[in-house]
Amino acid sequence: MITEHKQTAFITGANKGIGKEIARQLAQRGFAVFIGARDMAKGRAAAEELCAAGYEATFIQLDVTDPVSIKNATGTFSQKADHLDVLVNNAAVLEDHGEDILKLNAEMLDRTIKANVNGPVLVIQDFLPYLRKAPNGGRIINVSSGAGSLSRMSTYAPAYSISKTALNAVTRQFAGALRNENVAVNCVDPGWVRTDMGGATASRPVEKGAETIVWLAADVPQTETGKFWHDKQEAEW
């Protein structure tokens, strides 16, 4: 059954952390939210939690490292909605544990690039037909990191940092390619957020991490595209 909500949002990796909070805030804004998650039990639980609070949330299984899973997710989505207003590429991995580039494991780099770069590219490509149908223009938001900023980069988590720099480049490429199609593409550094990835000592709550992403999804002019944001300000590449 097609949703009756005027606005729809699909968030990858939305079963926990920033992704789950983005889904919650967009649901509060009146969006029908689609929870993309690899883990079926956790994804379903996250959707049920939002439904119990009175929002429309649907779990769709999605492994961004598996092209077939991405295709299946778009097929499932097509049965629930006829357009997509907002796509948030949030799913990512951080496997670096104190390694430096001098001893970086090539297999780990491959896994990181596959999840953090190739995944978002394929997700955007497959969901693009629905983003193009958004009545007021589609919006794509890639969740990046300050670790991917070349101007500030040093030696932290090389595989992860390199993948986020590449995701910023992916953002620029799609923004350029879709500039005349009314689909805005931006990336966001949410800051150091208390999540499984960020750890318990991180300085920001998930609400703050999600804030700029939700702002880009719902509030900024459609003409804002191809930019890197942090706390609602343009960030240095």
Q: Which helix (H) or strand (E) holds 169?
A: helix 158-177
In a domain, 135, yes or no: yes
Counting Cβ atoms within 10 Å, is residue 9 exposed (0-12), middle (13-18) or buried (19+)?
A: buried
Residue 134: pLDDT band (50, 70, 90) is: very high
Going by pLDDT thresholds of 50, 70 and 90, the confidence category of residue 219 is very high
More confident: 200 or 24? 24
Question: In angstroms, rounded to a whole number, what is the distance separating the alpha carbons of residues 213 and 88?
Answer: 8
Interatomic CA distance for residues 73 and 59, integer angstroms: 10
Cα–Cα distance measured from residue 3 to residue 123, given in angstroms and rounded to the nearest whole number: 21
24 within 8 A of 88, measured Cβ to Cβ: no
Chain segment 89-110, per-residue pLDDT in tens: 999 999 998 889 999 999 999 9
Residue 1: pLDDT band (50, 70, 90) is: confident
**What is the percent of the chain where pLDDT is above 70?**
96
Q: Are 61 and 37 in contact (CB under 8 A)?
A: yes
Q: 105: domain range?
A: 8-234
Q: Specify the CATH number for the domain of residue 94.
A: 3.40.50.720
CA nearest neighbour of 209 among 226, 232, 228, 236:
232
Q: What is the pLDDT of residue 193?
A: 54
Instruction: List the structure tokens of 141.
Output: 């938001």
Q: Residue 1 falls within a domain, yes or no?
A: no
Domain annotation covers residue 2: no
Q: What are phi and psi of 200, to 5 degrees?
A: -70, -20
Task: Give the range among 31-40, 70-79, 91-100, 227-236 with minimum mean pLDDT.
Answer: 91-100
φ, ψ for residue 20, nearest 5 deg: -65, -40
Spatial contact of 47 and 57, defined as CB atoms under 8 Å apart: yes
Q: Is the pLDDT of residue 195 over 80?
A: no
**Least confident interval from 81-90, 133-142, 165-174, 205-214:** 205-214
User: Can you give the pLDDT at residue 194?
Assistant: 66
pLDDT tens column, 12-23:
999 999 999 999
Question: How many domains does one find in the chain?
Answer: 1
Residue 192 pLDDT class (50, 70, 90 cuts): low
The overall average pLDDT reported for the chain is 94
Structure-block tokens of residue 232: 């609602």
Q: Tell me which residues are annotated as active site.
A: 160
Give the three-state DSSP class for 212: helix
Phi, psi of 117 (to 5 degrees): -120, -60
Token readout for 82 is 């006829």
